[in-house]
A = this chain, B = another copy of it.
Amino acid sequence: MQFAGSAAYRRAMRTRATDMFGIDLPIFAFSHCRDVVAAVSRAGGMGVLGALYFTPEELETELAWIDDHVDGKPYGVDVVMPASYEGADFAPEELVGRLQAMIPEGHRTFVENLLAAHGVPPLSQDADAGRVLLGWTDATARPQVEVALRHPIALLANALGPPPADVVDLAHAHGVKVAALASTPRHALKQVEVGVDLVVAQGTEAGGHTGEISTMVLIPQVVDAVDVPVLAAGGIGNGRQMAAGMALGAEGVWTGSLWLTVEEADTPEMAKRRILEATSRDTVRSRSWTGKPARLLKNEWTDAWEAQESPGTLPMPMQFMLVSDALRRIGRSDAAELATFPAGQIIGITNQVRSTKDVIYSLIEEYAQALDRLAHLTDD
């Protein structure tokens, strides 16, 4: 197939979301991999780098690289500033210590026993204290925002509820638009109240933190509730799904799991293989990653936290602090059966490795085909 020269791809698609950023395609792509972010933006969409796993210094390096490789096209950064979490009122310098002290010994034993049962060895060095909290809190995400705003980003997105109002104002002062992920119409209204420019309405089928309402049911309700443009997230993996999202009233789509298996992605080999093989039933909404419900690859890790002998999960951010070291150890071991990570239900339709550009082109090509088909169904 010749995507690059197709009429579909040459056709302009204009919505308030494309106009907001001057982009050709209303396709937003979340990825932790700078290569994917730059490739999506170069192809006419909007790449958005997930900052969570990076220290401020690392984030600086990643964004500098993107600046050099994005050909001047707009891109964004996604941070996690949860509206509520344990320790939100602790002083930043005390945060890790006080939270660590709140993790019950029984929970630590449960994790150690689980790893031992699967033969996962300890790491040869101590856990990297700088990675215990990541960007899961206001205190740890703000330095990421400061780094991001020193770069020519076009969009700052918050992955867990409305961003703090002062962060929205700060972004706007830098000429940066702000988006936030919403799982209910009420979330979306709160986000618009603090000034977000774009709502990402995300259905339960999405990877990572999700609500309960499906994309099909959620999007029209959010579109009707707010005046700003809405992007459809959750379940968008091909052009028919993109057309469905737009039919529901969205002005663009927000994609994530789709990019885990592209050529450019630095997803660990073991994870890539499991995603390519997985069906749409191989995910589960679980608190076992962060303490808030997130859709993950279902496996012996997620099962263990549901089992009779599970001590139950801890609130955010303690659950992640409890398990971050374990997840790193699992990642470096052969215990593939325990290697869990955020993944949406569309992993059931990603079954080959393609380039980012090819994925974008085929999204648009199939989108155009879906529209042509619909037009013919109602022909006189």
A356 in contact (CB, < 8 A): no
Whether A374 pairs with B243 at a CB distance below 8 angstroms is yes
Segment of A59-67, A74-82, A191-199, A209-217 engaged in the interface with chain B: A209-217
Segment of A93-101, A107-115, A123-131, A246-254 engaged in the interface with chain B: A246-254
Given known A221-B280, A240-B248, A241-B220, contact A345–B214 (CB-CB < 8 A): yes
> Looking at chain A's contact residues, is the secondary structure mostly helix, strand, loop, or mixed?
loop
B contact residues around A371 at 8 Å (CB): 247, 374-375, 378
B contact residues around A214 at 8 Å (CB): 203-205, 214-216, 234-235, 345
Shortest beta-carbon distance from A44 to chain B in Å: 14
A189 in contact (CB, < 8 A): no
B contact residues around A217 at 8 Å (CB): 205, 235, 237, 241, 280, 345-346, 348-349
Chain B residue nearest in CB terms to A10: B380
Bound-state CA distance A349–B217 (Å) is 8
Bound-state CA distance A249–B238 (Å) is 12
B contact residues around A249 at 8 Å (CB): 240, 370
Q: Chain A residues in contact with chain B, CB under 8 A?
A: 11-15, 184, 203-205, 211-221, 234-238, 240-241, 243-249, 279-281, 345-346, 348-349, 368, 370-371, 374-375, 377-380
Q: A243-B248, A249-B370, A368-B378 are in contact. List 10 more A-B contacts (CB 8 A).
A: A12-B380, A13-B377, A211-B281, A213-B280, A213-B348, A214-B216, A217-B348, A221-B280, A247-B370, A247-B371
Closest 10 CB pairs of A and B: A216-B235, A244-B244, A243-B247, A205-B214, A217-B345, A244-B247, A214-B214, A213-B280, A217-B235, A215-B216
